[in-house]
Amino acid sequence: MRDVIMKKEYDFSKGKRGAVVPQKGKSRITIYLDDDVLEEFRERADKLGKGYQTIINDALREFLGKGDRPISEETLRRILREELKKTG
């Protein structure tokens, strides 16, 4: 095992706060979620092999109508029925 020598003082005068690796097009925020909601997202993320934050982001995009998933046949049929009802 290597011995690590620590300095008595370090100069952080040119240090910057924030993420070590900035993400373009993303913002770091703090958000409070109910424990059961967060646990559900973590479980789903594990099953999908993705990060839970990615799953939460996908759910928010879908809620906003900005999801990038293709529309299922069932959803398309529902939308068409609704629109046809409106036209008479």
Rg of the chain, C-alpha, whole Å: 23
74 is a domain residue: yes
- Block residue for tokens 């059961």: 36
Distance of alpha carbon 19 from alpha carbon 13, whole angstroms = 17
Domains of the chain: total: 1
Whole-number percent of the chain with pLDDT over 70: 90
Domain containing residue 55: 35-87
Residue 30 in any domain: the answer is no
Question: 10 in a domain, yes or no?
Answer: no
pLDDT in tens, 28-61: 889 999 999 999 999 999 999 999 999 999 999 8
CA distances from 65 to 20, 62, 69, 78 (A): 32, 5, 10, 16
